[in-house]
Structure 1
Amino acid sequence: MPLKRRDQKGFTLIELLIVVAVIGILASIAVPYITQYRIRSYNASAVADLRTLRNSLEAYFLEHGSYPH
Protein backbone atom coordinates (compact mmCIF):
# COMPACT_ATOMS: atom_id res chain seq x y z
CA MET A 1 0.00 0.00 0.00
CA PRO A 2 1.62 3.27 -1.05
CA LEU A 3 2.12 5.88 1.61
CA LYS A 4 0.32 9.17 1.30
CA ARG A 5 2.54 12.11 0.48
CA ARG A 6 2.09 15.32 2.42
CA ASP A 7 1.26 17.38 -0.66
CA GLN A 8 -1.66 15.10 -1.63
CA LYS A 9 -5.11 16.32 -0.69
CA GLY A 10 -8.26 14.31 -0.05
CA PHE A 11 -9.78 11.82 2.32
CA THR A 12 -9.22 8.13 2.70
CA LEU A 13 -12.02 5.63 2.31
CA ILE A 14 -11.97 4.86 6.04
CA GLU A 15 -12.34 8.53 6.94
CA LEU A 16 -15.33 8.85 4.62
CA LEU A 17 -16.92 5.69 6.05
CA ILE A 18 -16.52 7.01 9.58
CA VAL A 19 -18.18 10.32 8.62
CA VAL A 20 -21.08 8.49 6.97
CA ALA A 21 -21.49 6.28 10.06
CA VAL A 22 -21.53 9.29 12.40
CA ILE A 23 -24.10 11.07 10.24
CA GLY A 24 -26.22 7.91 10.23
CA ILE A 25 -26.09 7.65 14.01
CA LEU A 26 -27.04 11.31 14.44
CA ALA A 27 -29.91 10.92 11.98
CA SER A 28 -31.23 7.85 13.78
CA ILE A 29 -31.26 9.82 17.03
CA ALA A 30 -32.92 12.91 15.50
CA VAL A 31 -35.74 11.26 13.51
CA PRO A 32 -37.88 10.24 16.53
CA TYR A 33 -37.69 13.75 17.93
CA ILE A 34 -38.73 15.28 14.61
CA THR A 35 -41.68 12.89 14.40
CA GLN A 36 -42.70 13.75 17.95
CA TYR A 37 -42.62 17.49 17.19
CA ARG A 38 -44.77 16.96 14.08
CA ILE A 39 -47.41 15.18 16.18
CA ARG A 40 -47.36 17.95 18.79
CA SER A 41 -47.72 20.56 16.07
CA TYR A 42 -50.70 18.73 14.56
CA ASN A 43 -52.38 18.51 17.97
CA ALA A 44 -51.75 22.20 18.72
CA SER A 45 -53.25 23.12 15.36
CA ALA A 46 -56.37 21.04 16.06
CA VAL A 47 -56.80 22.66 19.48
CA ALA A 48 -56.47 26.13 17.94
CA ASP A 49 -59.07 25.26 15.28
CA LEU A 50 -61.50 24.04 17.95
CA ARG A 51 -60.93 27.21 19.97
CA THR A 52 -61.72 29.30 16.88
CA LEU A 53 -64.90 27.29 16.28
CA ARG A 54 -65.97 27.76 19.90
CA ASN A 55 -65.43 31.52 19.69
CA SER A 56 -67.40 31.69 16.45
CA LEU A 57 -70.31 29.78 17.97
CA GLU A 58 -70.32 32.05 21.01
CA ALA A 59 -70.34 35.13 18.78
CA TYR A 60 -73.23 33.65 16.75
CA PHE A 61 -75.16 32.91 19.94
CA LEU A 62 -74.66 36.44 21.23
CA GLU A 63 -75.82 37.93 17.93
CA HIS A 64 -78.81 35.66 17.22
CA GLY A 65 -79.85 34.40 20.68
CA SER A 66 -79.49 30.71 19.74
CA TYR A 67 -77.02 28.33 18.22
CA PRO A 68 -77.21 27.45 14.49
CA HIS A 69 -79.20 24.37 13.56
Structure 2
Amino acid sequence: MSIKGNHKGFTLIELLLVVVILAVLAAIAIPRFSSSAKEAKIAACKANITNINTQLELYYTKNGTWP
Protein backbone atom coordinates (compact mmCIF):
# COMPACT_ATOMS: atom_id res chain seq x y z
CA MET A 1 0.00 0.00 0.00
CA SER A 2 1.46 3.36 -0.98
CA ILE A 3 0.36 6.75 0.22
CA LYS A 4 -0.29 9.18 -2.58
CA GLY A 5 -0.93 12.88 -2.41
CA ASN A 6 0.78 16.11 -1.70
CA HIS A 7 2.48 16.47 1.64
CA LYS A 8 2.32 20.08 2.70
CA GLY A 9 4.53 21.53 5.38
CA PHE A 10 8.10 22.44 6.16
CA THR A 11 11.02 20.09 6.52
CA LEU A 12 13.21 20.07 9.60
CA ILE A 13 16.07 21.62 7.62
CA GLU A 14 13.88 24.53 6.53
CA LEU A 15 12.73 25.17 10.09
CA LEU A 16 16.30 25.04 11.41
CA LEU A 17 17.40 27.46 8.71
CA VAL A 18 14.73 29.95 9.78
CA VAL A 19 15.78 29.62 13.43
CA VAL A 20 19.43 30.25 12.51
CA ILE A 21 18.52 33.33 10.47
CA LEU A 22 16.45 34.73 13.35
CA ALA A 23 19.31 34.09 15.78
CA VAL A 24 21.77 35.95 13.55
CA LEU A 25 19.40 38.90 13.20
CA ALA A 26 18.89 39.00 16.97
CA ALA A 27 22.65 38.89 17.55
CA ILE A 28 23.03 41.93 15.32
CA ALA A 29 20.04 43.91 16.65
CA ILE A 30 20.39 43.47 20.43
CA PRO A 31 23.74 45.29 20.83
CA ARG A 32 22.45 48.21 18.77
CA PHE A 33 19.39 48.60 20.99
CA SER A 34 21.45 48.42 24.17
CA SER A 35 23.85 51.12 22.95
CA SER A 36 20.87 53.30 22.02
CA ALA A 37 19.49 52.92 25.54
CA LYS A 38 22.84 53.97 27.00
CA GLU A 39 22.96 57.05 24.77
CA ALA A 40 19.41 57.97 25.82
CA LYS A 41 20.37 57.74 29.50
CA ILE A 42 23.38 59.99 28.90
CA ALA A 43 21.19 62.55 27.10
CA ALA A 44 18.69 62.49 29.97
CA CYS A 45 21.49 63.10 32.49
CA LYS A 46 22.77 66.05 30.47
CA ALA A 47 19.26 67.52 30.36
CA ASN A 48 18.94 67.09 34.13
CA ILE A 49 22.26 68.87 34.72
CA THR A 50 21.15 71.76 32.50
CA ASN A 51 17.86 71.99 34.40
CA ILE A 52 19.66 72.03 37.77
CA ASN A 53 22.00 74.79 36.57
CA THR A 54 19.05 76.85 35.36
CA GLN A 55 17.23 76.47 38.67
CA LEU A 56 20.37 77.40 40.62
CA GLU A 57 20.81 80.57 38.58
CA LEU A 58 17.13 81.43 39.09
CA TYR A 59 17.52 80.96 42.84
CA TYR A 60 20.61 83.19 42.87
CA THR A 61 18.83 85.88 40.84
CA LYS A 62 15.82 85.82 43.14
CA ASN A 63 17.64 85.59 46.52
CA GLY A 64 21.05 87.14 45.83
CA THR A 65 22.85 84.13 47.30
CA TRP A 66 23.57 80.56 46.36
CA PRO A 67 21.69 77.78 48.13
- Give the gaps of 5 or more residues in structure 1: none
Paired position in structure 1 for 2:45: 46
Query: Percent identity among equivalent residues?
Result: 36
Displacement of 1:6 in angstroms is 6.5
Paired position in structure 2 for 1:26: 25
Partner SS state of residue 67, structure 1 = coil
Partner SS state of residue 10, structure 2 = coil
Displacement of 1:51 in angstroms is 0.6
Paired position in structure 2 for 1:64: 63
What is the total number of aligned residue pairs between the two structures? 64
- TM-score normalized by structure 2? 0.86
* AA aligned opposite 2:51: T
- Give the gaps of 5 or more residues in structure 2: none
Partner SS state of residue 8, structure 2 = coil
CA distance in 2, matches of 1:6, 1:27: 38
Q: Deviations over 1:15-47 (max 9, x none)?
A: 110000000000101111111101101100100
Cα 1:53–1:20, aligned 2, differ >3 Å: closer, same or farther? same
